Amino acid sequence: MKTAIIGAGNMGGSIARGLAKGSIIPASDIIVSNPSQGKLDALKAEFPALQTTHDNQEAVTGAEFIILAVKPWLIKPVLRELKLKSKQILISVAAGISFEELAQNVAEKEMTMFRIIPNTAISEMESMTLIASRNASKEQEQLMLDIFNQMGLALLIPEEKFSAATSMTSCGIAYVLKYIQAAMQAGIEMGIYPQDGMRMVAQTMKGAAELILNNDTHPSVEIDKVCTPGGITIKGINELEHGGYTSTIINAIKKSV
């Protein structure tokens, strides 16, 4: 399944690496296009079978999948220059660019399209990837889920839920990292070295995520297990609430929509 990736930045580069490491699309089927050479050289050094080019049209010619991973404001000009065939499958990574806008910029308006939103943990094969489809068969949807489930966890959702879910997951990873940073700052004030604190908090966060994902439990159940009546955790939990923790997170996630 020849796959063209347009843009070799954070997303395009990570998707190329994830695909090449996975078992569905071999590296020799992947061609990545980018204007500058450095990122292409880095990809080629890791996966010698992968092909690279500076010419977007050369990349997409004959490709079954075309993954658009340029900045949102470049989607329109890049798409308008491409000559796409009705049988090709267009996959856009651009946040905030609707199927309707994509369709307006291609000749084949009814072609199969997907929108995907990974987060930056895709570089670790631990992305939460959102997928929406347009004019796709069940088999094509399943293939997309299979591909992106190899790079973490993938979920197919309707396009109208995309911006809310993007805020929770793709922007959300920055909010989660912000918690790690804040907890580290507290540790530093109390004499914990930043490098030690970073590992302590990151492993704590990974453990919290594993508790939820492995047991299908609810955060309130897990929080209850930590909070000994009259103990120390509930003092911190109540302080978080006095400081508007829950409300601030709700507002932050809604602000990014």
Ligand X SMILES: NC(=O)C1=CN([C@@H]2O[C@H](COP(=O)(O)OP(=O)(O)OC[C@H]3O[C@@H](n4cnc5c(N)ncnc54)[C@H](O)[C@@H]3O)[C@@H](O)[C@H]2O)C=CC1
Ligand Y SMILES: O=C(O)[C@@H]1CCC=N1
Residues found near ligand Y in the complex (CB under 6 A)? 95, 166, 170-171
Measured over the CA atoms of residue 95, residue 100, residue 106 and residue 112, the dihedral's sign is positive
What backbone phi and psi angles, to 5 degrees, belong to 136? -110, 150
Work out whether 197 is an interface residue with ligand X (CB under 6 A): no
56 is in an annotated binding site: yes
Q: Strand pairing of 113-117 and 127-134?
A: antiparallel
Residue 7 binds what, of ligand Y, ligand X, none (CB under 5 to 8 Å, by partner type)? ligand X
DSSP state of 105: T
Q: Does 170 sit near ligand X (CB under 6 A)?
A: yes
Total chain residues near ligand X (CB under 6 A): 27
SS3 133: strand
Q: How far is the CB of 172 from ligand Y (least distance, A)?
A: 9
Q: Are the C-beta atoms of 156 and 181 separated by less than 8 Å?
A: no
| Choice between 71 and 161, CB closer to ligand X | 71
Smaller CB separation from ligand Y, 177 or 226 = 177
- What is the spatial distance between Cα 93 and Cα 103, in angstroms, rounded to a whole number? 15
Q: What residue number has its CB nearest to ligand Y?
A: 95
Q: How far is the CB of 249 from ligand Y (least distance, A)?
A: 17
* Residues of the binding site for NADP(+): 6-11, 69-72
